[in-house]
Amino acid sequence: MDLMNPYFIYIGIPIFIFLGIGYWGYSNKFKKGRKVANTEFIENTKYFKRRLFEFRFCSVLAIVSLVLALSILMFIIARPNRAHQNETEIHNRDIMLCLDTSYSMFYTDLEVCKELKKFVSELQGERFGITIFNCETVTLVPLTTDYEYVIEVLDQLEESCQVAIDVLLEGNFYDTSDYVVYQYMVDGTTTDKYGNGSSLIGDGLASTVFQFQGLDDEEERTRVIILATDNQLNGTPFVQIEEATEICDSYDIKLFGAAPDTVEEMEVFRDCCKSTGGKLFILDEDDVAKDLVNEVETTETSVIYKSEVMVTEYPEKLVTGLVIVLCVYFVVSRRVKL
């Protein structure tokens, strides 16, 4: 046990000694006073003896309880505490999900979001983020360890994909609430203010790369991008997918692709993923999305052990003891009229 304010003990002990000497001197001055004659008869009665015993007992108890109360109060002010050294295991892996939100990707995006929710819920210290893109890139979730929020966003994306499939691809009736749900995954991505078209995969991937924090730092971190796209480029991007992949490789970022069976230039997309140490998954069969998540999960993760000293105070027992001792003091002091 340690004390945060030990100097209160150093000050309190001399004060106690001084008060004890003062009380002893004060009580001794009555021993040499005048005595009353012929008190033998009263002193030998049972009533006198009982009241004398009661007085002495209560006097001693009052003094002891007062000393204890002052001692406990002194320790409370000194703030006793215990220090515990906790070692936390932190997995330093960053994962970004990059979703192509064009019409041809709704089924693929839906499967990827479904499978990633369980993966995110089991993360321990890794950071996860989400970007969406079409002709422009929007950051939905910057890198964070707030997994509940990430899962909430994945739920909303999943719901948006389902509405898009029901309404746009299958022609079902929709109302205003469905439109609002759908807009969640496309707002900000389809402005096309530069007139460059849509599904600008290279731009979306390059934008996602620079969502990673501290790319130029010396700290070793595992960085992964999950890129869901069919590679159907419709326009002129600022950055081609091959150039964006080179940027990934220069920062040691692994690229894992998720594409439907309608993917264009599959070999180009696969080579881009392989060049970074990643892999392309074609989501044309059951459990392929699950295989993608398992592959990402097995990427090498370095571990940092963060040591923290936790200081905990335990004033409850001391305060309880102080209250009890003070109650005893007030009862016995009233009894002997101290």
Read off the pLDDT of residues 23-65 as tens digits, 9 standing for 90 and up. 666 565 555 556 666 677 777 788 878 887 888 888 888 888 8
Secondary structure, 3-state, 246-311: HHHHHCCEEEEEEECCCCCCHHHHHHHHHHCCCEEEECCCCCHHHHHHHHHHCCCCCEEEEEEEEE
Among 52-61, 73-82, 220-229, 284-293, name the most confident range: 220-229
Predicted confidence band of residue 20 (pLDDT cuts 50, 70, 90) = low
Q: What CA dihedral angle connects 68, 74, 78 and 81, to 10 degrees?
A: 20
Domains of the chain (ranges, CATH numbers): 2-28+41-84+309-336 (no CATH), 93-301 (3.40.50.410)
Cα distances (Å, whole numbers) of residue 280 to 122, 143, 266, 267, 272: 23, 23, 9, 9, 9
pLDDT confidence of residue 274: 94
Read off the pLDDT of residues 194-250 as tens digits, 9 standing for 90 and up. 556 678 899 999 999 999 988 877 567 789 999 999 988 887 888 999 999 999 999
**240/238 Cα distance (integer angstroms):** 7
**101/230 Cα distance (integer angstroms):** 10
**H/E segment holding residue 312:** strand 303-313
